[in-house]
Amino acid sequence: MRVLLSTYGTRGDVEPLVALAVRLGVLGVEVRMCAPPDEEFARRLAGLGVELVPIGPPVREVMSGTALPSAADLSRYRNGLVDAQFATLPSAAEGCDVLVAAGLAQVAARSVAEAAGIRYVYASYAAVHLPSPHHAPPPRPGWAESEVRDNLARWELDARNVNAQFGEILNRHRASLGLPWVDNVRDHVFTDRPWLAADPALGPWRQIQGLDVVQTGAWSLPDARPLPADLSAFLDAGAPPVYVGFGSMHASKDMARNAIEAIRAQGLRALVSRGWADLGPTDDRDDCFAVGEVNHQRLFGRVAAVVHHGGAGTTLTAARAGAPQVVVALQMSDNPYWAGRVADLGIGAAHDDTTPTSESLGVAVKTALSPETRARARSMATEVRSDGAEVAAGLLLDGMG
């Protein structure tokens, strides 16, 4: 069996498919993966023996600014990705039995699978990305948002926005492949049986009529890497610090400074992840330390709390480690959703303001470090599963989904 995996985005989009690729490889399945050509992704896949088919521009270039591109630039960028997918995916899919597409940017994947006569599976990493009367669609940068409160009305607008962006370009490519016209691009991409690669305890799906969601659990890999010696020395030198990291998001230096001040005000040490924004300590005091890319699975078990942007992977890893969380939802994609889930589950605090002050962050950190929150976070750790990639790989081999 040969499987093509396809995604486009930051590490949070790529890493779950890496986990699925590794699990499929253990089962004897040949896997290749379409992903952005960023060096870190190429190095990651090469180290695991997974063939990379580069697609689109490097994501870090798009995320390198201090603000998101304009709506017009985002529109051109999104259409360019569709053209790149139709140029790359057909040859990548040759000889494959199934194409698994994950994330929001996979507009061409189903059409390519249809033209090749192979199975197609769409996977989402968060329930909030799938249409439901139980929640509103997440914000999409550069697109109009409905002012009405009814969730279904907002999903209807979301479908119109997707059609306005992708309808012409998708159907032009489909016509060149001899495929019929698509009226609803979003639902065409999702299918009526999408997979949800999210933990059922952290982000459950409430079944609705017309959408038969298969929730596999989150796709992740165990990480046995040791922590760097200097980081271990910092951890050993005092009480557990509070971790602050915003991954690939547009986090400002002010946000890092305010977080450090809030943590110090609680009498705690701070551990800052540099991330793509290259954050770091604001002074040379020894109660703050900066790290690059490290093993979060091992690290989060040694921190007092995790302050982050609300990425699905970070939320999962912190929950699995039993670490209380403060989610500063940056109003991107599923970030507000995960912030809400953390608050609703009682395993941390949601900071809804995208420009937090040291005072507002201090309140959130204090909530996360309360005895009740810490106890709930430890309890939650026992409920989070680790077999999502195994479940998904089994479904693929069994021809289900």
Q: Using CA atoms, how far apart are residues 276 and 317, in angstroms rounded to an integer?
A: 19
pTM assigned to the model: 0.94
What is the pLDDT, as a whole number, of residue 155?
95
Write the DSSP string, 104-153. TT-SSHHHHHHHHT-EEEEEESSGGGS--TTSPPPP-TTS-------HHH
- Residue 311, C-beta contacts closer than 8 angstroms, at least 6 positions apart: 12, 247, 249, 334, 335, 338
Q: Using CA atoms, how far apart are residues 176 and 62, in angstroms rounded to an integer?
A: 30
Nearest one of 132, 149, 127 to 205, comparing CA atoms: 127
Answer for the pair 208, 134: CB distance below 8 angstroms, yes or no: yes
6 strand-pairing partners: 34, 101
What is the pLDDT, as a whole number, of residue 275?
79
Q: Using CA atoms, how far apart are residues 69 and 141, in angstroms rounded to an integer?
A: 9
Domains of the chain, start order: 2-221+386-397 (3.40.50.2000), 229-381 (3.40.50.2000)
Please give the sequence-ordered ranges of beta strands (E in DSSP) within 334-386, or none if there are none.
348-351
- What is the chain's alpha carbon radius of gyration, rounded to the nearest angstrom? 21
What is the pLDDT, as a whole number, of residue 318?
98
Would you write out the chain's pLDDT as a tens digit for each of its 401 residues? 999 999 999 899 999 999 999 999 999 999 999 999 999 999 999 999 999 999 999 988 776 655 667 888 888 989 999 999 999 999 999 999 999 999 878 999 999 999 999 999 999 999 999 999 999 998 887 787 778 889 999 999 999 999 999 999 999 999 999 999 999 999 999 999 999 999 999 999 999 998 999 999 999 999 999 999 999 999 999 999 999 998 766 667 778 889 999 999 999 999 999 876 777 887 889 999 999 999 999 999 999 999 999 999 999 999 999 999 999 977 678 999 999 999 999 999 998 777 788 999 999 999 999 999 999 999 999 999 999 999 999 999 998 65
What is the pLDDT, as a whole number, of residue 16?
97
Q: In this structure, which amino acid lies at residue 241?
A: P
What is the pLDDT, as a whole number, of residue 250?
67
Q: Hey, how many other C-beta atoms are within 10 angstroms of the C-beta on 229?
A: 8
**In the structure encoding, which two tokens stand for residue 18, read together?**
């890496």
Q: Hey, how many other C-beta atoms are within 10 angstroms of the C-beta on 176?
A: 10
pLDDT in tens, 58-113: 988 776 655 667 888 888 989 999 999 999 999 999 999 999 999 878 999 999 99
